[in-house]
Amino acid sequence: MTKNTKIALGCGGAGCLGLIVIVIVGVVLMATGWVKTPGNDNANRSSNFNSNRKTNSNTKSSSSGSTMSDDDKHRLFQAVGATKDDDLLMKVLAKIGFPNASGPGYDKFMEDHPTWALNNFEFMDTVDTPEKGRAYVEAHLDD
């Protein structure tokens, strides 16, 4: 084995290892919502969500949102995200105290959610499909 062959094998191995690390980081970023998942058309969902915000602008803030723990709010919000159901999302937002996807604390909640998600992978695995997410929301929406 020549010196050039050893260098080539070393560079190939390092390159392969680097590619694996990049793929793992990409998957984690997509799972936590930091990066949009390819093929996931959220354009229509976004427009529906914004129209629902306008329609529900007279909705009163839910008093139950203030009695829920932050962890429970994040769990409910994560679960409803898996359902991709805008009407159910609006119900959850009202439940956790943000009926129009706005209000005191909403920006902070949205800022804190990715960090919460990074620390709660086990829970996220329990609501990783629309069916599991819907089941969790339906079981906890009236808590």
pLDDT digits (tens, 9 = 90+) for 68-126: 899 999 999 999 999 989 899 999 999 998 888 887 888 899 999 999 999 998 998 99
| Cα four-point dihedral sign 27, 33, 36, 40 | positive
Judge whether residue 41 has pLDDT over 60. no
pLDDT digits (tens, 9 = 90+) for 6-15: 777 677 767 7
Per the rule left: phi > 0, alpha: psi between -120 and 50, beta: everything else, 103 is: left
Q: Which helix (H) or strand (E) holds 113?
A: helix 106-118
Site of tokens 């709660």: 120
Judge whether residue 66 has pLDDT over 70. no
Q: Which helix (H) or strand (E) holds 139?
A: helix 130-140
Taking the complete model, does pTM exceed 0.95, yes or no?
A: no
